Amino acid sequence: MNFFDSGYVTMLAQASLLTIQLALSSLVIGLILAIIFTLGEMNKFKWIAWPTTLLVTMFRGLPELLVVLFLYFGSSQLLFYMTGEYIEVSAFTSGSIALGLIFAAYAAQTMRGALKAVPTGQKEAAKALGLGKVRTFIRIILPQATIQAIPGLSNQWLVLLKDTALVSLIGVTDLLKQSQLITAYTHDSFTWYATAAGIYLVITLISRRAISYLNKKLAIPGLGADA
């Protein structure tokens, strides 16, 4: 038995790519949902703000596995009730949506905190200079809030990356599922699960590097931690 000649390594490489794709698509869905949640939670109408807060709190309290399974098995049932037809939602799609929802539930909190962290003086100064509301938000508030939000969001990205492993349980051939399949042939469970763990670790470590680089790039000189 040779570790590298077996062809299993290529399979694992492809599965790793799928894991990254899954994480990235969940990130995109999650960011969009997070913006919606943030807008909902900060809405001045109580009847929008309250239910959103409830929803977000609920998603933070539920086990990730439950959300993933609920969405996968539940979505086709729900679509069946609504349309009367059996429509199968692909595991990849429902998995990305589930992971995106979990990401958004935490990210919305970060975004809300970041927006609140921008001093009101900034808004007032912009108003005094005659800037419109939309312009103030886009040019003054948003850039400052983004920098505040980056550490929290990047932490959440690392969590998301690890949560992608759950999607293997609904049949997506990601890194974990692939190593499980290989193990079924070879019975070298330790070798393959350890390899999978190693690949996850490498992806995480590279992400961490990229994040700290990004943080350094975005930091405003003289403001915040490095002041």
Partner 1 sequence: MTHTYFLQLLQGLQTSLILTVVAVIAGCILAILMTMALILKTPILDHLSRGIIILFTGTPLLVQIFLIYYGPGQFDIVKNSTFWYILREPWFCAMLALAINSAAYTTQLFKGTFDSIPSGQWQACRALGMSRRVSLHILLPFAIRRAIPAYSNEVILVFKGTSLASTITIMDVMGYAQRINGQTYDTLVVFSVAGFIYLCVNAILTLLFRYIEKRALAFETQS
Question: Where does this chain bind partner 1 (CB under 8 A)?
Answer: 58, 61-66, 69-70, 73-74, 77-78, 162-166, 168-169, 176, 180, 183, 187-191, 193-194, 196-197, 200-201, 204-205
**Of residues 57 and 122, the one with the C-beta less far from partner 1:** 57
**Of residues 18 and 145, the one with the C-beta less far from partner 1:** 18
**Of residues 30 and 136, the one with the C-beta less far from partner 1:** 30
Residue 165 beta carbon to partner 1: minimum distance, rounded to whole angstroms:
4
DSSP 3-state of 210: helix
Are the C-beta atoms of residues 134 and 58 closer than 8 Å to each other?
no
Residue 88 beta carbon to partner 1: minimum distance, rounded to whole angstroms:
14
Residue 116 beta carbon to partner 1: minimum distance, rounded to whole angstroms:
19
**Of residues 25 and 183, the one with the C-beta less far from partner 1:** 183
φ/ψ bin of 191: left (φ > 0), alpha (ψ from -120 to 50), beta (otherwise):
alpha
- Residue 55's H or E segment, with its range, is helix 46-61
**Alpha-carbon torsion, ordered 214, 21, 91, 178, to 10 deg:** -110
DSSP code for 86: -
